[in-house]
């Protein structure tokens, strides 16, 4: 049964809707995925608005500027910290980073920081001059290759706002950092490589992510949450398709399926 026109189109259409997909093995070795999310402990104010312009991480143990890496997928803007209280959070920045040790994270803040008091009045939040280079936080996380991590920045709004006694307020961020692996992945190799199959990773709830094997037959599907999956390999000819059942993935590892031999006519 030939599917030369149907399957490539179907795979392309489905992949556009996949929530996480990365099978480009050329970029897989030695990199990790990091997401930085923002949450907050409640404070006794109507709003605590903080302008965040950039997020950086430090790759060296020494505190020198050459070690800082700016996360390239940033959502800059003014965030009301109280919008993210009681377990809520929001994605602040993300990036693919070299695997290895991350010692610090730094928030580059803007000047448009304000506080809305209980009486409805709005006052400026002044940032001390010592924080002009950014708010530095200790992280001390080890990133494993190809694993996806979340760094949760837990602001304490009540402690971060300091009254100066003259109706003015300073912003001295008190932030707890939490780093955890949130997704692993599935890798392997198909043979014959020239079949170049599309790969579906299907959960018990029928959620699907996927990708394609490269010219050498190698594949790597990143961002796979912990659980049991069915992995289906689709080619232009159904005679070469195959399925691997009960593939168990943990959130901090890349599951290696080894060599998958596709049926040959």
The answer to the question of residue 238 being in a domain is yes
**Total domains, the chain:** 2
Q: CATH number of the domain that 246 lies in?
A: 2.60.40.1120
What is the DSSP pairing of strand 68-70 with strand 77-80?
A: unpaired
Q: Are residues 168 and 203 in the same domain?
A: no
Q: Are residues 139 and 246 in the same domain?
A: no
Q: Are residues 112 and 146 in the same domain?
A: yes
Q: Which pLDDT belongs to residue 36? A: 95
Q: For 148-162, what is each residue's pLDDT tens digit?
A: 999 999 999 889 999
Cα–Cα nearest to 95, from 31, 177, 16: 31
- Find out whether 261 and 189 touch, Cβ atoms under 8 Å: no
Cα-based distances in Å from 195 to 5, 17, 210, 225, 245: 15, 23, 16, 28, 21
Q: Which residue reads 């950086």 in tokens? A: 56
Q: Are residues 106 and 148 in the same domain?
A: yes
CA distance 9 to 222: 22
Q: Are residues 23 and 96 in the same domain?
A: no
Q: Are residues 90 and 211 in the same domain?
A: no
Domain that includes residue 235, residue range:
6-28+183-261
pTM, 2 dp: 0.80
Q: Are residues 44 and 126 in the same domain?
A: yes
The answer to the question of residue 127 being in a domain is yes
Mean pLDDT to the nearest integer, 101-115: 92
- The last residue of a domain, from among 127, 160, 180: 180
CA distance 234 to 212: 9
Q: Are residues 57 and 39 in the same domain?
A: yes
- Find out whether 202 and 14 touch, Cβ atoms under 8 Å: no
Q: Are residues 235 and 204 in the same domain?
A: yes
Q: How confident is the model at residue 264 (pLDDT cuts 50, 70, 90)?
A: confident
The answer to the question of residue 196 being in a domain is yes
- The last residue of a domain, from among 165, 180, 195: 180
Q: For 218-245, what is each residue's pLDDT tens digit?
A: 999 999 999 999 999 999 889 999 999 9
The answer to the question of residue 192 being in a domain is yes
Q: Are residues 241 and 149 in the same domain?
A: no
- The last residue of a domain, from among 150, 180, 210: 180
The answer to the question of residue 144 being in a domain is yes
Q: Which pLDDT belongs to residue 23? A: 44
Q: Which pLDDT belongs to residue 15? A: 37
The answer to the question of residue 1 being in a domain is no
Cα–Cα nearest to 139, from 106, 169, 93, 181: 106
Q: Are residues 82 and 151 in the same domain?
A: yes
- Mean pLDDT for all residues in the chain: 85
Q: Which residues make beta-bridge pairs with 98?
A: 31
The answer to the question of residue 89 being in a domain is yes
What is the DSSP pairing of strand 169-171 with strand 161-163?
A: antiparallel
Q: Are residues 19 and 135 in the same domain?
A: no
């Amino acid at each position: 049964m030939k599917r030369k026109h149907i399957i490539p189109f179907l795979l392309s259409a489905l992949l556009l809707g996949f929530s996480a997909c990365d099978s480009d093995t050329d970029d897989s070795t030695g990199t990790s995925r990091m997401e930085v999310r923002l949450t907050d402990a409640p404070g006794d104010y109507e709003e605590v608005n903080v302008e965040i312009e950039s997020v950086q991480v430090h790759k060296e143990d020494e505190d020198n500027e050459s070690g800082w890496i700016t996360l390239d997928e940033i959502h800059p803007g003014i965030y009301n910290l109280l919008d993210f209280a009681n377990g809520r959070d929001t994605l602040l920045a993300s990036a693919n980073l070299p695997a290895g040790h991350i010692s610090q994270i730094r928030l580059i803040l803007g000047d448009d920081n304000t506080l809305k008091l209980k009486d409805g009045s709005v006052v400026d939040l002044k940032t001390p001059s010592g924080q002009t280079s950014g708010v530095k936080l200790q992280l001390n996380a080890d990133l494993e290759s190809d694993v996806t991590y979340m760094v949760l920045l837990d602001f304490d709004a009540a402690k971060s706002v300091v009254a100066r006694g003259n109706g003015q307020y300073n912003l001295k961020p008190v932030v707890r950092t939490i780093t955890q692996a949130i997704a692993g992945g599935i890798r392997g190799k198909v043979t014959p490589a020239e079949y170049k199959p599309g790969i579906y990773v299907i959960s018990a709830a029928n959620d699907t992510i996927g990708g394609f094997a490269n010219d050498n037959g190698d594949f790597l599907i990143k961002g796979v949450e912990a659980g049991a999956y069915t992995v289906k390999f689709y080619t232009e000819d159904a005679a070469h398709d195959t399925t691997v059942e009960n593939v168990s993935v943990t959130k901090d590892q890349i599951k290696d399926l080894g060599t998958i031999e596709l049926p040959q006519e």
